Structure 1
Amino acid sequence: MAGDGAHIRIKLATEEPVALNDFVGSFVGIGSQFDKFVARDHPTIKADSEFFVKEVRAGCIEADLVAWVAPIIGGLPGMSAVDMIDRVQILTSFVSDLQERIGNYFKPGGRDPRATKSDLADYHKAVAAIARDPNASGVIEAAVFESDGREVRSAFRFRSIDAQVAQREIAEHRKEIEARLDENQTRVLLRFVRPSVEASKPGKKGGERGVIESIHKRALPVLYASDLAEQRMHHEKLQLAGNIFRALFDVDVNIEAGVSGRPIAYRIMQVHDVLDDAGDETLDL
């Protein structure tokens, strides 16, 4: 145990035997989330955590995650992590954050909007052991040993029914993300904010950026799914008599999404028409 006694304790209370994969997976998933939490919310420090099984008895398993955190840069030799940052506060904040994020999936239709596929895998591991047992419960708490005993700073509990709902919702969320990774939209309006009349290789980013407001409010890179699509767009841009920034291109696109499911680029598959944004009339080409 670290010098300040700060730790995260995980308790698995079950009536049925726990599968070894689920037992290990619970700790792996939560440990992975802790590392990601520190990297995201405390980018100037590095986490190094390790689980210690505290107690195993009939119907209950307890394990403590003890975390050491240290500055990535600027640390002094021999200076402990607690000298640099309040480690207790980090662990307390982590448990509260984990409760909010996993807790979204304890109700039908719940989603963590920030979750990636990797996060969903962690969440699934964290609840698997409890979901298998119809009369089980799990507790995750941040605590510290004080002079007068152990004090819990933050905690949350979930039951079998919560874990079972979470498993279904996590699986559905994964399908939704995977579906968005290869989604096509037809007859949408694209406005260039950084156009180019130079040819580039199909599927390669050539510096063009555009906005399709019905999909995403921000400008994203524009790519082309084929030589034919790029040649048609190239032709239409050269034929424009007016300001290209006022033109709306009626296109079919494939939406490339990141691991979180958010759009990160458009691939033009077909160009149908060009409209003038001022009057929504077809431009003379």
Structure 2
Amino acid sequence: MELDFSNKLEITINNKKPVVLTDLTLSLLGVAQQFEKFVENETNEQHQIGAELFIKDVRSGSIIVELVAQAAPVVPLLWQGGSLKEWADYARSVVEWLGGKISTPPQDLTKQDLKQWNNILEPVAKDGGSQMNFTVSKGGTVINQVFINSEQANAAQNGIRRQLEKLDEPDDHIQRKRVMIWSQTKFTDGTSTGDRAIIESISSTPIKVIFENHAVKKAMLAGDARFSKQWHELAYIVDVKVQTVRGTPKVYTIINYYDEDTFDPDEG
């Protein structure tokens, strides 16, 4: 095994408060885990390189840790600036996505990935005014830097919590007594194609609607004698099963509606 000492990743934590040892340990472990996964995702069996990080030096002052990786194959050059530089670019994109600065993640992140990023950011997120720096150098020349202050770390951790909540949310779940209005109706009693409704408490976008059973559908289509409007112009209180794809509602299945609560949405 050959280590590449000409390329190094320096992690600096400019802390204002003493850092809990377990927080620091888990943070560095998270960096190692995420670097390893990044390398494995970006390479293949034909062009394998070592994915482990090694501590080169720990210096005084702020918390400064120098890490090195195994040397990459001479040919082909997988990354012009080396694996450490590429990972730093990736780390910047992840933190920006979690903090809401960009809309698309650089890669799909699993629950485990999110928890590891939470660990990486923890020493800075819980220490107001502190900062974490990733500095990649080649032959003594800085070629990449990433700066994450406590405010950015907190924003990213909030993003992590939101993403974990989405991943924990079941694909199919029932929501009770929601207000539904029709956006588009094409069906008759014998078909269910082309129907869309809006349930604003779930999504402002019109979503495809189906019925769990014929009886509920027939009762809703019968209209309501209390109103002069037709059935598709009324608002309904429904129990609905929401089917999602990657956290986005795609189909509403109406499983029940409360006929006594039907109302005219245009009335005050």
- Which residue is equivalent to 1:42? 43
Counterpart of 2:67 (choices 45, 65, 85) is 65
Deviation at 1:153, TM superposition (A): 1.4
Structure 2 alignment gaps of length 5 or more: 176-191, 194-206, 214-239, 256-268
- Which residue is equivalent to 1:139? 133
The C-alpha deviation readout for 1:93-119, integer Å capped at 9, x for no partner, is 111011101222234897737221111
Write the distance in 2 (CA, Å) between the matches of 1:2 and 1:143.
15
- Which residue is equivalent to 1:211? none
What does residue range 89-108 of structure 1 map to in structure 2 within 5 Å?
89-107=82-100
**TM-score, with length taken from structure 2:** 0.59
- Which residue is equivalent to 1:118? 112
Deviation at 1:17, TM superposition (A): 0.5
Secondary structure in 1 matching 2:95? helix
- Which residue is equivalent to 1:6? 7
% identical aligned pairs: 19
> What is the aligned-residue RMSD (CA, Å)?
3.9
CA gap 1:168/1:110 in 2 versus in 1, 3 angstroms: farther
Secondary structure in 2 matching 1:177? helix
CA gap 1:156/1:138 in 2 versus in 1, 3 angstroms: same
Secondary structure in 2 matching 1:33? helix
CA gap 1:152/1:42 in 2 versus in 1, 3 angstroms: same
Structure 1 position 153 matched with structure 2 position 155: no
Write the distance in 2 (CA, Å) between the matches of 1:16 and 1:120.
25
Deviation at 1:165, TM superposition (A): 1.5
Structure 1 position 52 matched with structure 2 position 55: yes
**Letter aligned with residue 126 of structure 2:** R
Does the 8 Å CA contact 1:27/1:51 hold for their aligned counterparts?
A: no
What does residue range 1-285 of structure 1 map to in structure 2 within 5 Å?
2-3=3-4, 5-44=6-45, 45-52=48-55, 54-58=57-61, 60-68=62-70, 81-82=73-74, 85=77, 88-107=81-100, 112=105, 114-145=108-139, 150-181=140-171, 183=173, 261=246
**TM-score, with length taken from structure 1:** 0.56
CA gap 1:177/1:3 in 2 versus in 1, 3 angstroms: closer
CA gap 1:107/1:42 in 2 versus in 1, 3 angstroms: same
Deviation at 1:82, TM superposition (A): 3.9
Deviation at 1:22, TM superposition (A): 1.1
Write the distance in 2 (CA, Å) between the matches of 1:85 and 1:108.
31
Does the 8 Å CA contact 1:108/1:165 hold for their aligned counterparts?
A: no
Deviation at 1:64, TM superposition (A): 2.2
- Which residue is equivalent to 2:187? none
Deviation at 1:123, TM superposition (A): 1.1
Does the 8 Å CA contact 1:139/1:157 hold for their aligned counterparts?
A: yes
The C-alpha deviation readout for 1:199-227, integer Å capped at 9, x for no partner, is xxxxxxxxxxxxxxx69xxxxxxxxxxxx
Does the 8 Å CA contact 2:56/2:68 hold for their aligned counterparts?
A: no
Deviation at 1:130, TM superposition (A): 0.4
Write the distance in 2 (CA, Å) between the matches of 1:19 and 1:156.
23
Does the 8 Å CA contact 2:124/2:131 hold for their aligned counterparts?
A: yes
Query: Paired residues, what number?
Result: 199
The C-alpha deviation readout for 1:165-213, integer Å capped at 9, x for no partner, is 211221121011111455469xxx89xxxxxxxxxxxxxxxxxxxxxxx
**Letter aligned with residue 162 of structure 2:** E
**Letter aligned with residue 114 of structure 2:** L
CA gap 1:135/1:127 in 2 versus in 1, 3 angstroms: same
CA gap 1:48/1:136 in 2 versus in 1, 3 angstroms: same
Write the distance in 1 (CA, Å) between the matches of 2:101 and 2:37.
26
